[in-house]
């Protein structure tokens, strides 16, 4: 048999993928290095060797920035982490870098050696009752407070270090993250981080509050707005007591040798009062800005501070009241509304508000528009019988402003159509019924009030008549003059279309009902019936209803209307004529007066 064909050679085994990658890696790395070298030679860039490991990268960064090497654990026995210090260098606030180093990079040995805190970690610090007045102790005074302040500063510094150590031990990475945001975050992040730090403990929040005030003092309006919002939140919701003002160190009653804890708490309250004063100054200055949105927000901030807490009321209230004279009408009108809200939410503040507005409105060189907005606020005050002194003060202010316009007839005539005069008369009418002794004040301005009662502006006429109706009850000699002015007003040309028709008919109704003269009451009834003949339906119905109500109280008036009144014969008066005139009349001169036109000789004609 033929020999068998030799078997075909077996194909070579393919290399494994891992081995192929390992074989190609040096070639790829060499190609990358070659390309990198060629590119560096082409553009003239020095070749920098890639770090072999993370330690090499840290060493290269340390050599580049001139920093010592660290153990990479964020501190420890080797001291603070240089990378955290390098990041803190980029902060615009030195105290932020200090906070970062103190709160986030304390060594373990420093944590162990940190003294215990003297003040508690709390939110409502005033409820702790740490400052108790020593029995029989007098206030410290300025000199003694200056002596104790240096000691209190040292105690406060130690307390802040103890609190920072406790926070680093308790929160660890969270505290480092918050401190990093405070040091190098955006404005919004910094504000949020500062508020978080303040919420941790009120007693230890002074450095963070100080940074918030510094941000609010910046000139940029958007930063100022955000910082003021944060300040209002932390002060009004957490830091300020709701029922008492803060006490400065000079007025604390600590005794001869106060304890460290009591001195710390008193120092905290003193510094908090100073920081709140700076915040109030920032908001007051912002209310004088030329930017409308910033001004509106700062005015609202003044109102919030006044409404929420009693602290620095003597500074906040004048700043808010002064905005009644703001050139922007929207701001002045909003201040009027905010003051009215303040009087409603805090009724005991009404005398204080009125005193502040009185000082503002009676100052020299105050514009009429500012006086008008102040008058509008005073007209919004709710009065009661128990507040007679408040009503008396209101009447004094109203009449002082009214007298400045009524000092001469020309000025009063020019002011007849002004809304200011209408607001003043309305306020006087509101205040008189609640005053204890308004007669003397009203009687001094009777002449001007009666001139207003005869004004061409019917609204002014009605308001003046309403005030004169009160004055007529105080002085009986004014009754006839008041009824004369009221009778003339019935034929005022603006009466049918006036918006104050109901008020006017109410004045007429009260005057007719209380009138003691039957003849005068009948004269008013006739004038009203004549008016109904050509009046609008509303006026005619109102007048007829008025007469029916008056006739129910005075039945004699119904009889006068139902039965015709008997004419009263007038006595004949003899008139002497010149010589010869009697002959022309056909009779003697003594009868010429009775001749209607040339009759017979007997003069009967």
Residues 6 or more apart whose Cβ sits within 8 Å of residue 415 = 405, 421
Percent share of the chain, pLDDT over 90: 41
DSSP 26-68: HHHHHHHHHHHHHHHHHHTPPP-PPPSSHHHHHHHHHHHHT--
DSSP 90-131: T-S-HHHHHHHHHHH---HHHHHHPPPPSS---S-GGGG---
pLDDT at 247: 92
pLDDT at 136: 60
Q: Report how far residue 343's alpha carbon sits from residue 353's, in angstroms, rounded to the nearest whole number.
A: 8
Percent share of the chain, pLDDT over 70: 72
pLDDT at 91: 39
Q: Report how far residue 409's alpha carbon sits from residue 79's, in angstroms, rounded to the nearest whole number.
A: 86
Helix intervals (H) in 201-291: 206-216, 221-234, 260-286
Q: Report how far residue 100's alpha carbon sits from residue 79's, in angstroms, rounded to the nearest whole number.
A: 14
Judged by average pLDDT, the poorest of 287-296, 441-450, 587-596 is: 587-596
The mean pLDDT of 80-106, rounded to a whole number, is 44
On the question of pLDDT at 45 being above 90, the answer is: no
On the question of pLDDT at 127 being above 50, the answer is: yes
The mean pLDDT of 351-380, rounded to a whole number, is 93
On the question of pLDDT at 553 being above 50, the answer is: yes
The number of residues making up the chain comes to 605
DSSP 134-193: PTTPPP-HHHHHHHHHHHHHHHHHHHHHHHHHHHHHHHTHHHHHHHHHHHHS-HHHHHHH
pLDDT range class, residue 271, cuts 50, 70, 90: very high
Q: Report how far residue 186's alpha carbon sits from residue 486's, in angstroms, rounded to the nearest whole number.
A: 72
Of residues 443 and 29, more confidently modeled: 443
Q: Report how far residue 158's alpha carbon sits from residue 101's, in angstroms, rounded to the nearest whole number.
A: 15
- Tokens at 467, concatenated: 């005030």
Q: Report how far residue 274's alpha carbon sits from residue 279's, in angstroms, rounded to the nearest whole number.
A: 9
Q: Report how far residue 359's alpha carbon sits from residue 357's, in angstroms, rounded to the nearest whole number.
A: 5
Is residue 258 within 8 Å of residue 270, measured between CB atoms? Answer: no
pLDDT tens-digit map of 204-259: 999 999 999 999 999 999 999 999 999 999 999 999 999 899 999 999 888 778 88
3-state secondary structure of 427: helix
* pTM summary value: 0.71
Judged by average pLDDT, the poorest of 413-427, 447-461, 545-559, 570-584 is: 570-584
Q: Report how far residue 453's alpha carbon sits from residue 488's, in angstroms, rounded to the nearest whole number.
A: 10
pLDDT tens-digit map of 139-171: 888 888 888 999 999 999 989 988 888 888 887
Q: Report how far residue 406's alpha carbon sits from residue 447's, in angstroms, rounded to the nearest whole number.
A: 9
The single residue listed with the structure tokens 């002064």 is 322
pLDDT at 414: 63
Q: Report how far residue 179's alpha carbon sits from residue 243's, in angstroms, rounded to the nearest whole number.
A: 33
- Tokens at 65, concatenated: 């920035």
pLDDT at 172: 77
CA dist list (Å): 557 to 513, 520, 543: 11, 11, 14
């Amino acid at each position: 048999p033929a020999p068998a064909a030799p078997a075909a050679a077996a194909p070579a085994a393919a290399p494994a993928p891992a081995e192929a990658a390992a074989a190609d890696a040096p070639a790829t790395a060499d190609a990358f290095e070659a390309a990198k070298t060629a590119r560096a030679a082409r553009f003239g860039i020095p070749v920098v060797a890639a770090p072999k490991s993370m330690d090499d990268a840290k060493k290269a960064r340390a050599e580049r920035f001139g920093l010592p090497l660290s153990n990479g654990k964020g501190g420890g026995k080797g001291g603070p982490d240089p990378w955290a210090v390098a990041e803190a260098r980029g902060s615009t606030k030195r105290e932020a870098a200090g906070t970062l180093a103190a709160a986030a990079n304390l060594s373990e040995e420093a944590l162990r050696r940190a003294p215990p805190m003297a003040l508690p970690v709390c939110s409502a610090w005033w409820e702790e009752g740490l400052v108790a007045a020593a029995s029989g102790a007098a206030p410290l005074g300025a000199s003694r407070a200056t002596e104790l302040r240096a000691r209190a500063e040292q105690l406060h510094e130690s307390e802040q270090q103890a609190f920072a150590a406790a926070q680093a031990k308790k929160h660890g990475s969270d505290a480092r993250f918050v401190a990093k945001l405070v040091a190098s975050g955006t404005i919004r992040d910094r504000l949020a981080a500062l508020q978080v730090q303040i919420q941790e403990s009120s007693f230890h929040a002074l450095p963070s509050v100080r940074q918030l005030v510094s941000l609010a003092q910046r000139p940029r309006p958007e930063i100022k707005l955000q910082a003021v919002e944060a300040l209002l939140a932390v002060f009004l919701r957490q830091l300020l007591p709701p029922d008492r003002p803060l006490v400065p160190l000079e007025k604390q009653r600590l005794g001869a040798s106060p304890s460290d804890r009591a001195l710390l708490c008193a120092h905290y309250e003193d510094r908090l009062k100073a920081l709140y004063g700076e915040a109030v100054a920032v908001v007051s200055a912002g209310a004088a800005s030329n930017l409308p949105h910033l001004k509106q927000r700062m005015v609202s901030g003044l109102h919030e501070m006044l409404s929420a807490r009693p602290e620095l009321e003597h500074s906040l209230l004048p700043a808010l009241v002064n905005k009644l004279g703001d050139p922007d009408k929207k701001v002045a009108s909003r201040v009027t509304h905010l003051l009215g809200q303040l009087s409603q939410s805090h009724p005991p503040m009404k005398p204080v508000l009125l005193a502040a507005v009185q000082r503002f409105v009676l100052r020299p060189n105050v514009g009429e528009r500012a006086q008008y907005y102040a008058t509008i606020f005073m007209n919004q005050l709710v009065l009661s019988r128990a507040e007679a002194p408040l009503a008396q003060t209101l009447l004094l202010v109203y009449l002082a402003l009214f007298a400045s316009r009524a000092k001469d007839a020309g000025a009063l005539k020019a002011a007849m159509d002004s809304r200011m005069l209408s607001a003043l008369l309305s306020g006087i009418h509101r205040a008189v019924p609640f005053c204890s002794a308004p007669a003397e004040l009203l009687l001094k301005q009777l002449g001007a009030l009666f001139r207003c009662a005869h004004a061409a502006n019917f609204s002014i006429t009605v308001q003046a008549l309403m005030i004169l109706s009160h004055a007529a009850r105080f002085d009986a000699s004014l009754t006839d003059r008041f009824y004369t002015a009221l009778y003339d007003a019935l034929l005022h040309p603006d009466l049918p279309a006036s918006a104050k028709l109901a008020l006017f008919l109410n004045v007429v109704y009260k005057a007719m009902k209380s009138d003691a003269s039957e003849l005068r009451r009948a004269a008013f009834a006739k004038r009203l019936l004549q008016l109904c003949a050509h009046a609008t339906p509303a006026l005619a119905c109102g007048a007829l209803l008025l007469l029916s109500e008056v006739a129910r109280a005075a039945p004699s008036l119904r009889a006068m209307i139902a039965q015709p009144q008997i004419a009263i014969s007038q006595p004949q008066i003899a008139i002497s004529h010149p010589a010869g005139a009697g002959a022309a009349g056909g009779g003697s001169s003594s009868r010429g007066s009775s001749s209607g036109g040339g009759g017979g000789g007997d003069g009967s004609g």
